[in-house]
Amino acid sequence: MFRNVVVGVDDGEGGRDAIALARMLAGEGSELTLAHVYQGDSEVSRASTPAYESAQHERVRELLEKASEEAGVQAKLRWHGSPSVGRGLHELAELTEADLLVVGSSRRGLLGRVLIGDDTRAALNGAPCAIAIAPTGYSREPAVMREIGVAYNGSPESDRALKLARTVAAEHQTTLSAFEAVSTPAYFFLSAPYPVDSDSIQGRVDQARERIVALGGVEPHAAYGDPVEELTLYSASLDLLVVGSRGYGPLGRLVYGGVAQRLARTARCPLLVLTRSARTTPDGADVEDGLTRTTSGG
């Protein structure tokens, strides 16, 4: 599954939550990298004294070593200066050719909820690989994988998400389900002379469930309503929700500001967003990395 996993680590609970989720998702033999992004860019680096840079790197190294030891994980340690946490994590993911980037939620999130703050939002937008977001407090409870769910609507993006979810479910020998939210486009209400009747709604829900049954090996779920609201309710019964994301922007990597982005604010379980990835290091990017080390937890 995921063979090269980068974990965003800070000095708060979000970093511990991210490490716990990364351990759950990483496959046997995976390479785990604990990464910290500190404030800095090329101009700052040129103006900084060697003594300042050395002290900064020592502080970060100690932070990452402590995180590794407390989590009991064997991992590489890496740090990077960047004007923003999101950009720095993207650059590290590209430099290490990661296939998964894991981050924590905002510190203001409710226990067991995903709630993205500015750093998490920045990491989600434009990620060069799949990205997983751990709910607040995820590291406090034993990580289990009993049911994996997929947001499905028949699109190529949701088909990719389902394929990945099948692999994860097989590795964890757990239940796999899929959910389709049926909704009525806004333009229908402008053109239809009468409201949508309940029989018509139920018929569409039944058809959605039948589409999922036809996929094979997936427990089917469907409901009528706002996709994000319904998927949020669905996520409360899951241990992981997998979502496909459409790519926009010059590099085709921007997470579309629809279902995936909104779910990143409301999901009640870990969220795995499968982006359209590009592993090209940006031209002119400041690539001043810390020493790569391997350390064993206690």
Per-residue pLDDT tens, the chain, 298 aa: give them: 788 999 999 888 889 999 999 999 997 788 999 999 887 654 444 445 677 677 778 889 999 999 999 999 999 999 988 888 888 888 899 999 999 999 988 654 444 444 444 555 556 667 788 999 998 889 988 778 999 999 999 989 899 999 999 999 999 999 999 999 998 654 444 455 555 566 788 999 999 999 999 999 999 999 999 999 999 999 999 999 999 876 544 333 333 346 777 887 888 999 999 876 533 333 333 333 443 333 333 3
Record the tokens describing residue 248, joined without a space: 């926009």
pTM: 0.80
CA distance 8 to 85: 9
Record the tokens describing residue 199, joined without a space: 């029989």
CA distance 268 to 273: 14
Domains observed in the chain: 1-139+272-290 (3.40.50.620), 145-238 (3.40.50.620)
Q: Is 59 exposed, middle or buried (0-12, 13-18, 19+ CB in 10 A)?
A: middle
Residue 111 CA, distance from chain mean position: 18
**Which residues have C-beta within 8 Å of that of residue 284, sequence separation ≥ 6?**
none
At position 108, the amino acid (one-letter code) is R
CA distance 84 to 272: 22
